[in-house]
C-alpha cells in the first residue's frame, strides 16, 4: 500500500505542477525564437531560403531537443490531470476550484505537441512507423498461424505482401497526420508567433501558480 501511495503521489505531482510545466513551455518557446532567428537570419522577414540555412549553435540545438522530453511530460500531465480532475496548482485548488483547468490543459497539449515535433521534423517518421507496423503485423500473423501453413512457401509470400500493405497504409496515414502537426509546429515556431506563445505561457502559468486563477477565469 505504501508503494502504491508513493507511486500515485509521483504520478499526480506532474499534473499538480501543470502551471510550472506551462512556464517551462514558455522557456522552450524562447528557444524556438532563437533557433529560427539564427537559422533563418531574420525575426519577421526570412532572409535565407531553406537551402541557405546556417547551422545553429549547439546550445540552442540541445535546448530544442530537450523539448522532446518536456513535450511528452506536458501532454501526459494534461491528459492525467483531465482524467483525474487535478487542479494545475495548489493555489488554483484553493482560490478557484479543486478541478483541472481547461485552458491550461489544452495549452499544455498544444505546446507539448510542438515541443515534441519541432526537433524531429526531418526524421522519416511515417516510413519508420509504417515499417514497424508492417513487421509487427507479419509477426503476429506468423505466430497465430499453424506451423504447417507457416512452413508453406506460398503463405510466406502472402504474409510478406500483407505486411507490405499494412506498412504502406500506416505510412500514408501517419504522413498526413504528422504533416499537419509539423505545419502547426512551424507556424508556432515562427519568431513573432513564438514570442507570443512564450508570453502567453508565462502569463497563464504565473497567474495559475501565484494568483490561483487563469485567463479563462477573468
At 158-200, the pLDDT tens digits run: 655 665 666 566 556 656 666 666 666 677 667 788 888 899 9
User: Is 165 within a domain?
Assistant: no
All three cell numbers of 70:
518536456
Q: Say how many domains are in the chain.
A: 1
Q: How remote is the C-alpha of 9 from its chain's centroid?
A: 24
Enclosing domain of residue 25: 2-121+185-217
Please state, in angstroms and rounded to a whole number, the distance separating the CA atoms of residues 137 and 153.
18
In angstroms, the Cα distances linking 62 to 28, 137, 138, 199 are: 11, 36, 37, 22
Which candidate, 217, 212, 216, 218, places its Cα nearest to that of 90? 212
Do the Cβ atoms of 93 and 19 come closer than 8 Å?
no
pLDDT digits (tens, 9 = 90+) for 117-129: 766 554 555 555 5
| 45 located within any domain | yes
Give the separation between CA 128 and CA 52, rounded to whole angstroms: 28
> Would 166 be classed as within a structural domain?
no
Task: Specify if 158 maps to a domain.
Answer: no
Is position 24 within any domain? yes
pLDDT score for 110:
87
In a domain, 48, yes or no: yes
159 domain-assigned: no
Write down the residue that cell numbers 493555489 correspond to: 91
pTM check: above 0.85: no
49 in a structural domain = yes
Exposure of 45 in the CB half-sphere (CA atoms within 13 A): 1
**Among 21-25, 94-98, 121-125, whose mean pLDDT is lowest?**
121-125
Segment 64-88, tens digit of pLDDT: 677 778 888 888 888 888 888 889 9
The residues, ordered by sequence, that sit 6+ positions from 81 with a Cβ below 8 Å of its Cβ are 15, 18, 88, 100, 105
CA dist 150 and 165 (Å) reads 19
Amino acid at each position: 500500500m505504501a508503494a502504491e501511495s508513493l507511486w500515485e503521489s509521483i504520478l499526480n505531482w506532474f499534473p499538480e505542477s501543470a502551471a510550472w510545466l506551462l512556464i517551462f513551455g514558455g522557456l522552450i518557446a524562447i528557444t524556438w525564437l532563437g533557433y529560427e532567428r539564427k537559422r533563418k537570419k531574420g525575426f519577421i522577414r526570412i532572409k535565407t531560403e531553406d537551402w541557405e540555412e546556417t547551422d545553429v549553435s549547439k546550445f540552442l540545438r540541445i535546448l530544442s531537443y530537450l523539448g522532446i522530453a518536456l513535450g511528452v511530460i506536458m501532454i501526459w500531465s494534461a491528459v492525467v490531470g483531465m482524467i483525474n480532475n487535478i487542479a494545475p496548482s495548489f493555489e488554483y485548488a484553493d482560490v478557484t476550484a479543486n478541478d483541472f483547468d481547461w485552458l491550461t490543459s489544452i495549452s499544455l497539449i498544444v505546446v507539448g505537441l510542438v515541443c515534441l515535433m519541432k526537433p524531429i521534423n526531418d526524421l522519416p517518421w511515417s516510413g519508420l512507423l509504417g515499417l514497424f507496423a508492417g513487421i509487427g503485423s507479419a509477426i503476429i500473423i506468423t505466430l497465430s498461424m499453424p506451423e504447417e501453413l507457416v512452413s508453406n512457401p506460398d503463405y510466406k509470400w502472402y504474409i510478406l505482401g500483407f505486411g507490405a500493405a499494412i506498412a504502406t497504409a500506416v505510412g500514408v496515414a501517419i504522413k498526413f497526420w504528422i504533416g499537419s502537426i509539423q505545419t502547426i509546429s512551424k507556424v508556432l515556431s515562427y519568431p513573432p508567433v513564438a514570442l507570443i506563445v512564450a508570453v502567453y505561457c508565462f502569463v497563464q502559468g504565473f497567474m495559475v501558480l501565484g494568483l490561483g486563477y487563469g485567463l479563462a477565469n477573468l
